Structure 1
């Protein structure tokens, strides 16, 4: 499908089933499926160079489940989960080198518990405590 992203296709009908969207130069920008006009199920997003930018799933238009984002060099930038569009559970972000930058938990979209920040060699440089919302 070479159309613009949106809930409706070029005929005005709600999108259903597999879909692909492309950059102006014809390279793949994103691929996934729709249900009732909403993104649903696994989706992948790509950089203009063809490398993976992000991958995860939607549940009727909302981010849901494990998501991962990548840098242009292919290294993991961050990873975490969503429940109906809200950050939840363990989240990790990474230095450009691929070493862990920080990690901690989200509860209903708010940081909770202990969060740690690491230097690029893996040593803890800061720890913070967050209360539940």
Structure 2
């Protein structure tokens, strides 16, 4: 019985805590949850000027789920899903005014599927990729829909 109680004293509860990291000048660099010295759950990162640079979730120290990225002036630059630290699925990319200028299907961070390019919220061209290599390009919405079903874009 005494041995069992002694062993229980060495079992440590889950070590989860909130952590803030700072640049040398004292401005915040990042903040989020740590578990067993590994990033977990929701994290936010900041540019040296104090504006948010990215935010999203970690799972076992790897980027996971949906992430948002911003430039130094708070304008969204891209957003999309991670799995095991790799960009997957549809990613949206924004112009300097914060408007979507293209969206692409990614697998492990590489174009793999369709990339759609926009101007003034209208589709102006589309490309199809296989493992990072462009295999087809359409220069109008009409040409694209003539050869493809919109259900292909899921």
Equivalent residues in 2 for 1:78-117, closer than 5 Å? 78-117=78-117
Shift of 1:114: 1.7
Q: Whose radius of gyration is greater, 1 or 2?
A: 2
Give yes or no for the alignment of 1:31 onto 2:31: yes
Counterpart in 1 of 2:140?
A: none
Deviations 1:1-53 (A, max 9, x none): xxxxxxxxxxxxxx852110111111111001112221111100112222111
Equivalent residues in 2 for 1:11-90, closer than 5 Å? 16-90=16-90
Shift of 1:60: 1.1
TM-score calculated relative to the size of structure 1 = 0.79
- Which blocks of at least 5 consecutive residues in structure 1 are unaligned? 1-14
Distance in 2, Cα, partners of 1:29 & 1:110: 28
Report runs of 4+ in structure 1 exceeding 6 Å deviation.
none
Q: Which of 1 and 2 has higher RCO (CA within 8 Å, sep 6+)?
A: 1
TM-score calculated relative to the size of structure 2 = 0.69
Question: RMSD over aligned Cα, in angstroms?
Answer: 1.9
**Bigger fraction of residues in helix:** 2
Matched position secondary structure for 1:40: strand
Distance in 1, Cα, partners of 2:37 & 2:59: 12
